[in-house]
Structure 1
Amino acid sequence: MASLRAVQPLARRAPALFASRAGIQSAGRRFLNTDSAPVLYSAHAKVVGARTGHVEGDDLKVGLTMSKALGGTGDKGKTNPEELFAAGYGACFQSAMNASAASLGIRMPTTPEDSIVENTVHLVGDMKNLDMGIRVDMKIKIRGLDKADIDKVVEKAKEVCPYSRATRGNVTTNIAVEQM
């Protein structure tokens, strides 16, 4: 049996160890995905019919289709969860880039066509055994900034983008940057 002296240091550290494993705090970084974080905005979506149904939200109504690659019909004018995730992550990351640039004193291009984020979301794994995940390939193109400034903006955006924070450690996101 361990002596009381040997156990006391671990006992003093236990709350911090358990908190970090629960996603509450790690290396001085605050996690905002807890019930106690202030809510800035809430989005709601109702899905009916899974991958071949439809999605309804406060400002959204879109049909869903199973992609041809997964054995579905891939109906034109409809979408799928991976495409929706790619769009959401891309828009969020680009907004995080704009906010990050401003905080770094870097001026982003003012025309939308001069800053582009393209995401490809890959459904990966084994459908037969229901062992699947996603991987994201993100391509960032910016006109009018030098490579060093683009890299600074992207690095900071990775730290502040809610999608990047939510997927960190669970979804591989490969980011390629190019000047236009």
Structure 2
Amino acid sequence: MQVLYTAEVTASGDGRNGHVASSDGILDFDVRTPKEMGGGGGATNPEQLFAAGFAACFHSALRVVARRAGASVEGSEVHARVGIGPNGSGGYGLEVWLAVTLPELDPDTAQRLADAAHQVCPYSNATRGNIDVHIEVGK
């Protein structure tokens, strides 16, 4: 693989209760354990960051495959939910739900494009076979 871009982020402090900052200074904020996991909340967390990255990346892939197919993606959105929980082996695992909205397309075309995006998206390729990713297509 020819690397086109490398993101650099440093986490400091106490892991989920610490700070993250990118080498270019654009990303620079505290992270906190969510209240639902016994933390204080009040700041973003790794699951939100993962959801943001997956949603943006998948939406970009969706736009690429739609453009190639000559399909309209006007008004499209990708909503990501990332769940975390015990994996049964003493650690934790993730599960992802992607809700794809393509209001100008019929359901079959929308599903076909979402399936194609799932083959193109780097996040999809990185997680395939590692975590469950559910893709729902609607208007």
**TM beyond 0.5:** yes
Q: 2:83 aligns with which of 96, 107, 122?
A: 122
Please state how far the C-alpha of 1:167 moved relative to its aligned partner: 0.2
Counterpart of 1:47, as a letter, is A
Runs of 4+ in 1 over 6 A off after TM superposition: none
3-state SS, counterpart of residue 39 of structure 2? coil
RMSD: 1.4
Q: Which residue is 1:87 aligned to?
A: 52
Residue type at the aligned position of 1:139: A
Letter in 2 for 1:96: A
5 Å-filtered alignment, 1:50-61, equals 50-57=15-22, 58=24, 59-61=26-28
Q: Which residue number in structure 2 is paired with residue 102 of structure 1?
A: 67
Gaps of 5+ in 1: 1-36
Opposite residue 38 of structure 1, the aligned amino acid is: Q
Partner SS for 2:44: coil
**1:103/1:126 Cα in 2 relative to 1: closer, same or farther (>3 Å)?**
closer
For the pair 1:43 / 2:4, whether they are aligned, the reply is no
Bigger proportion of residues as strand: 2
Distance 2:114 2:12 in 1: 36
SS in 2 for 1:53: strand
Q: Is the 8 A contact 2:72 2:104 kept in 1?
A: no
Which structure shows the bigger proportion of residues in helix conformation? 1
How far 1:124 sits from its partner (Å)? Answer: 1.6
TM-score (norm 2): 0.92
1:131 to 86, 91, 104: 91
* Number of corresponding residues: 136
Q: Any idea what the Cα deviations from partners look like across 1:102-157, whole Å, max 9, x if unmatched?
A: 11222221xxxx21111110102159x63210001111112111112111210110
1:164 aligns with 2:129: no
The answer on 1:74 being equivalent to 2:38 is no
Q: Which runs of 5+ in 2 are unaligned?
A: none
Larger Cα-atom Rg: 1
Q: Aligned to 2:16, what secondary structure does the other structure show?
A: helix
